[in-house]
């Protein structure tokens, strides 16, 4: 014969209150404290572009003519990195979309003019000194990295570009890698 175990009303009420308090305590911990404990103090990665649509242009730079190319300069801030930690001098920018490559131009002064440092490269090492670092907010904990004036990067393709074609790339700095992407819109005409 099996005896049924019954809780008294007071004991069952206390148990329900205890479980309710435990559930609310866990929820408050997950909402308030967990993000604080798992917050990444030195986030690094590509802040932009993350799928942005950019207008392709036909342009001439130096003695090179580009058709439906995307130019990255200090004025348009198309490429923006973020972070504050120093993981060495070199970043690696790698284009993942087939057919696309990058030219990097550097201003050599009025006597030399623009010099092409990389010609249709799919992977380029970039010095962190190619970027100026500006704080995201007044605390200055995280910095946005913008391309310095005096450098121009040109994403281009040696075959026809499709309207709204996506160009994917990654940037590696130390052991961290993050992705970036933009969609190329072709102008009318």
Kindly state whether residues 22 and 87 are assigned to the same domain: no
The position carrying tokens 């014969």 is: 1
Average pLDDT over residues 159-171: 95
Q: Residue 152 above 80 pLDDT? A: yes
Tens-place pLDDT, residues 63-89: 899 999 999 998 998 999 988 777 777
Q: Which domain holds residue 59?
A: 45-185
70 and 23: one domain? no
Q: Determine the Cα–Cα distance for residues 115 and 104; give it in Å rounded to an integer.
A: 9
Span 118-129, mean pLDDT?
A: 92
| Cα–Cα distance for residue pair 172/175, rounded to 1 Å | 7
- Residue 182 pLDDT: 96
* pTM attached to this predicted model: 0.75
Token pair for residue 155? 């994403």
Question: At 137, which CATH number?
Answer: 2.60.40
What mean pLDDT is predicted for residues 96-110?
Answer: 93
**C-alpha–C-alpha distance, residues 105 and 154, integer Å:** 8
Same domain, 50 and 33: no
Rounded to whole angstroms, the Cα distance separating 104 from 116 reads 6
Count: domains in the chain: 2
Contact 50, 111 (CB under 8 A): no
Q: Is residue 83 part of a domain?
A: yes
Instruction: Please report the DSSP string for 30-55 in residue order.
Output: IIIIHHHHH--SS--EEEE-EEEEEE
Mean pLDDT of the chain: 87
Q: Pick the residue with more confidence: 148 or 139?
A: 148
Question: Is there a domain that residue 4 lies in?
Answer: no
């Amino acid at each position: 014969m099996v005896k049924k175990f019954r809780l008294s009303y007071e004991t069952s009420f206390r148990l329900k209150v205890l479980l309710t308090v435990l559930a609310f305590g866990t929820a408050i911990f997950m909402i308030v404290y967990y993000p604080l404990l798992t917050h990444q103090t030195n986030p690094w990665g590509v802040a932009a572009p993350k799928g942005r649509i950019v207008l392709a242009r036909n342009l001439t730079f130096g003695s090179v003519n580009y058709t439906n190319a995307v130019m990255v300069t200090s004025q348009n801030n198309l490429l923006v990195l973020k972070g504050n930690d120093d993981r060495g001098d070199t970043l690696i920018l790698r284009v993942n979309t087939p057919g696309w490559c990058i030219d990097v131009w550097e201003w050599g002064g009025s006597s030399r003019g623009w010099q092409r440092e990389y010609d249709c490269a799919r992977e380029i090492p970039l010095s962190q000194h190619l970027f100026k670092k500006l704080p995201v907010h007044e605390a200055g904990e995280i910095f946005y990295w913008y391309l310095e004036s005096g450098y121009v990067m040109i994403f281009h393709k040696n075959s026809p570009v499709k309207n709204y074609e996506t160009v994917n790339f990654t940037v590696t700095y130390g052991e961290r890698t993050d992705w970036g992407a933009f969609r190329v819109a072709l102008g009318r005409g």
